[in-house]
Chains A and B, each alone.
Chain A
C-alpha cells in the first residue's frame, strides 16, 4: 500500500466500514510510515468527533405544542376546502345557462315521474279487474261445490252471510241467525198485517213445531216448507 492509497481509504470511508484486509493493510502501513501514522491518529480523532455529534440529539423545545398547531391548521384547511367547494358550486348554479339547463332537467325528471305514476296506476286498475273476475268465478265454483256436498252448503251460507250477500243463515232447525236490519224489516212487515193474518201466521207456526216430534225428518221438512209457503203468501198478499 502506498501513502496515496492509504489517504484515499481513510478519507473516503469510516474505519469501521473497511473490510478486514484493508484494515490490516492500513495498520501495517502505519508501522512503516510516520507521516501516515500521524495522519491516522488525526483521522481517529476526526471520526470520534463525528461520532460525538452523531450521538448528540438536538432538544426539541417545540415538541409539546407542535401537534396542536398542526391539527389546528389541518382542521381549518379542511373547513376552508368545504367552504370553497360550496362557494364554487353556488357560483356555478348562478350561471343563467346552468339555471336553464337544471330547470329543463328537473321538468324532464318530474314528467318522467308522473308518467311512471300514471302507468303504475293503470296497471293496478287492470289487476283489480282481473282480481274481480277471479273472485266472481270463485263464488260460482263454491256454489257449484256446495250443491253436491250438504255440509258445504252450510259453510257456504255462513260465508255468504258474512260476506253480506245473505240476510240470514240457519244454524240448526231451531236456530237461525239473522241480521238486525232484516229482523226489523220482518217485524215491521208483521206489524202491518191485520189481526186475522197475524193469528193465522201464529197458528201455522205452531202447527210446524207441533208436528216436529210426530213426523220423520223428511216429512217434517216437507211440511215445514209447505207451511212456510203459506205464510209467505199471507205476507205477500
Chain B
C-alpha cells in the first residue's frame, strides 16, 4: 500500500487515524528524532524516551498538525520541547570534571576526521562543549550547527524570532569556541 502513495498522502492518512500509515510514519522518522534528541540530551536512554514520547504525542495531537508546515518541522518541535523539558527537569546540573584524557580524546578527533565515535564518546564530546550553555542556547546550537537546520526552521521549531535565534546562536558559538581555544592553549 505504502509504495503507491507519496509521503504527504501517508501522513494525511495517519493524521486521520489510520494505524498502518502511522506505523509507516514512525519507521520513517524515528531516526531523525533520535539523532536530534541524542545531540541535545547527550544521553542514549533519554533520547530513546524522547523518541517514544514524541510519537505518542504526535498520535494524540495529529489533528492539530497544520499541513502548511513541513511534517518534520512539526515533529522536531514536539521532540525539541520534550528535550527542553528534560534538560530543565534534570535534578542537578550535570557538571563534568574535565580530565586530561577527556581533553586529549576530544582534541584527537580533530586530528582524525575519519574517526567513528561510539555513542558514549559522541555524547561526552557534545557534553564537554555544551554543558555550560543554558538549555535554549544549547538547543539552538545543536539544531543549527550540529543538525544543519536553517535559522528559519530553528525559529519555527522553537517559536522564537529569527533575530532571537541568531543572538542565542552567537552566544553559544562564542562560549564553545572560547572554551575550545582555551583548552588548546
Interface string of A31-53 (1 = CB under 8 A from B): 00000000100110110111111
Instruction: Let me know if B180 is at the binding interface, CB within 8 A.
Output: yes
> Which has the most chain B C-beta neighbours within 10 Å: A13, A14, A49?
A49
Q: Cβ of B34 and Cβ of A70 under 8 Å apart?
A: no
Q: Cβ of A53 and Cβ of B23 under 8 Å apart?
A: no
Q: Cβ of A66 and Cβ of B30 under 8 Å apart?
A: yes
| A11 vs B178: C-alpha distance when bound (angstroms) | 7
| A42 vs B23: C-alpha distance when bound (angstroms) | 47
Query: Contacts A60-B30, A66-B51 hold; do A12 and B173 have CB atoms under 8 A apart?
Result: yes
Q: Cβ of A52 and Cβ of B115 under 8 Å apart?
A: yes
Query: Contacts A11-B174, A66-B26 hold; do A54 and B145 have CB atoms under 8 A apart?
Result: yes
Instruction: Let me know if A90 is at the binding interface, CB within 8 A.
Output: no
Instruction: Let me know if A73 is at the binding interface, CB within 8 A.
Output: yes
Q: Cβ of B146 and Cβ of A58 under 8 Å apart?
A: no
Instruction: Let me know if B155 is at the binding interface, CB within 8 A.
Output: no
| A43 vs B56: C-alpha distance when bound (angstroms) | 42
Q: Select which of A46, A57, A71, A74 is within 8 A of B180 by beta carbon.
A: A46
Q: Cβ of B106 and Cβ of A74 under 8 Å apart?
A: no
Q: Contacting chain A: which of B1-9, B71-79, B86-94, B118-126?
A: B118-126
Instruction: Let me know if A172 is at the binding interface, CB within 8 A.
Output: no
- The interface size bin for chain B is 35 or more
Q: Cβ of A73 and Cβ of B38 under 8 Å apart?
A: no
Chain B contacts for A60, CB-based, 8 A: 30-31, 34-35
**Chain A nearest CB, measured from B28 CB (Å):** 10
Chain A contacts for B113, CB-based, 8 A: 48, 51-52
> Which has the most chain A C-beta neighbours within 10 Å: B52, B174, B177?
B177
Q: Cβ of B173 and Cβ of A11 under 8 Å apart?
A: yes
Query: Contacts A11-B174, A52-B113, A67-B27 hold; do A58 and B34 have CB atoms under 8 A apart?
Result: yes
Name which residue of chain A comes closest to B185, CB basis. Answer: A42
Chain B contacts for A54, CB-based, 8 A: 145-148
Q: Cβ of B170 and Cβ of A75 under 8 Å apart?
A: no
Q: Cβ of B122 and Cβ of A56 under 8 Å apart?
A: yes
**Chain A nearest CB, measured from B3 CB (Å):** 18
Query: Contacts A12-B174, A39-B181, A60-B30 hold; do A48 and B110 have CB atoms under 8 A apart?
Result: yes
Chain B contacts for A67, CB-based, 8 A: 23, 26-27, 30
Q: Cβ of A14 and Cβ of B145 under 8 Å apart?
A: yes
| A39 vs B185: C-alpha distance when bound (angstroms) | 10
Query: Contacts A53-B125, A62-B51, A67-B30 hold; do A74 and B22 have CB atoms under 8 A apart?
Result: yes
| A66 vs B38: C-alpha distance when bound (angstroms) | 15
Query: Contacts A60-B34, A74-B59 hold; do A46 and B170 have CB atoms under 8 A apart?
Result: no
| A70 vs B49: C-alpha distance when bound (angstroms) | 11
Chain B contacts for A77, CB-based, 8 A: 56, 59-60
Q: Cβ of B181 and Cβ of A42 under 8 Å apart?
A: yes
Chain A contacts for B35, CB-based, 8 A: 57-58, 60
A-B contact pairs, 24 of them (CB 8 A): A12-B170, A12-B173, A13-B173, A14-B145, A42-B180, A42-B181, A43-B177, A45-B110, A48-B110, A53-B146, A54-B145, A56-B115, A56-B117, A58-B35, A58-B39, A61-B119, A63-B31, A70-B52, A70-B56, A71-B23, A73-B52, A74-B19, A77-B59, A77-B60
Q: Which residues of A contact B (CB under 8 A)?
A: 10-14, 39, 42-43, 45-46, 48-54, 56-63, 66-67, 69-71, 73-75, 77
